[in-house]
Amino acid sequence: MRFEEPAISAQGLVKSFGDVRALDGVDLEAAPGTVLGVLGPNGAGKTTSVRVLTTLLEPDGGQARVAGLDVVKDAPRLRSRIGLAGQYAAVDENLTGIENLTMVGRLYGNKRAVAKRRAAELLERFSLSDAGSRPAKTYSGGMRRRLDLAAALVASPPVLFLDEPTTGLDPRSRIELWTAIEELVGEGTTVLLTTQYLEEADRLADRIAVIDHGHVIAEGTADELKARVGGLRVEVTLTHGAAAFAAMTALESMSDEPVRVDGPLVSVQVDERAGAIMEAARRLSQAGVGAEDIAVRRPTLDDVFLSLTGHATVEDQDVPELVEVAA
């Protein structure tokens, strides 16, 4: 097997802002042509990591290499090998789509004609050709995001950084953006993508690094992580909280994992979506337990955090204590 240098590698990155230790020894690695998902709640250090890796911020400690170059020592050369789409769509709202992309192309050092041609190509690719001559302030959120992504791709960079690319988008725009990212990866681009959504990391990322308080607390494929979290759950909202014990007894043999009870919410892990709701409903009605609602829920970032750290993503005091009841 040929040894290949990772497209992105970081060891022990540290960065403080005053008293806040935003990065407290972050290690990351992505092989060329793969997607690394950096998953974490607000304030975990995702944006700070991206800013260090894209040369915007010098780390206080640790080191990182991207596309074979050191992010501090080789910063000027590295900038022509990376693309960045930040957490907020960084487009000039008073410029049209084509003007935005042409400007970026010229800042990469291209001649005006070359920059314009590339701009037109990218607009076409992101279905923005029709809107290309309108000021970006007339664009929808999804269109802005696509324009922002296009701007990050002007120089066809081998390594791309996307900071929460779909936060705030409607479901349709989110799926459009996912498809666009998948196409890029298909062409061999290495992508580091931060997100607060497990579902997004699951769909796009080859490997996922879970980050909290400036630390990577878990790393692995989506399957590995989900195995630790525990897959799909059937969640029942009881009509009367008092029936929790009866519900627990009725549901416990559906899974090897313990049933969780949290007030009127009772949940149990299942392997498959199909039939799970019917099965739970049948068991509950046999036991004479009334349910307001029964649903299958995918594991969320909260579940990941709960199982990895024992605390939820938000401040602990805001979250009702979740009781695990052993069968």
Partner 1 sequence: MINDTLTLAERALVRLPRNPDMLLAFTVQPIMFVLLFAFVFGGAIETPGYGDYIDFLIPGMIVQQICFGGFATALGLAEDMTKGLIDRFRSLPTARASVLAGRTLADVATNLLSVAILLATGLVIGFRFDAGVPEILAGLGLLLLFGYAFSWIFALIGMSVSSPEAANGVGFTLIFPITFISSAFVPVASMPAGLEQVAEANPVSVVVDAIRALWLGGEMGNSLWLSVVWCFVLIAVFAPLAVRKYRMSASA
Q: Which stretch binds partner 1 (CB under 8 A): 93-101, 190-198, 230-238, 312-320?
A: 93-101
Q: Which does 22 bind (CB under 5 to 8 A by kind): partner 1, Mg ion, ligand ADP, none?
A: ligand ADP
**53, 150, 166, 296 from 195: Cα distances, Å:** 16, 19, 8, 23
For residue 11, the Cα-to-chain-centroid distance in whole angstroms is 21
CA distances from 150 to 80, 99, 112, 113, 121 (A): 15, 12, 17, 18, 10
| Binding residues for partner 1 restricted to 289-308, rule: CB under 8 A | none
Cα atoms in the 13 Å half-sphere on the side-chain side of 127: 9
Given 5, 17, 224, 324, the residue binding ligand ADP (CB under 6 A): 17
Q: Which one of residues 14, 31, 72, 90 is an interface residue with partner 1 (CB under 8 A)?
A: 90
Of 44 and 280, nearer to ligand ADP (C-beta) is: 44
How, if at all, do strands 215-220 and 190-195 pair? unpaired
Q: Contact between 99 and partner 1 (CB under 8 A)?
A: yes
Under rule CB under 6 A, which residues in 48-107 are in contact with ligand ADP?
Answer: 48
d(CA 26, CA 162): 18
**Per-residue string for binding with partner 1, 123-152, x by CB under 8 A?**
------------x---------------x-
Give me the numbers of helices (H) and strands (E) for the chain, helices first please: 11, 15
Say if residue 17 is exposed, middle or buried (CB neighbours under 10 Å; 0-12, 13-18, 19+). exposed
User: Contact residues for Mg ion (CB under 5 A)?
Assistant: 46-47, 87
User: Contact residues for ligand ADP (CB under 6 A)?
Assistant: 17, 20, 22, 40, 42-48
User: Contact residues for partner 1 (CB under 8 A)?
Assistant: 17, 51, 54-58, 76-77, 79-80, 82-84, 86-95, 99, 103-104, 106-109, 135, 151
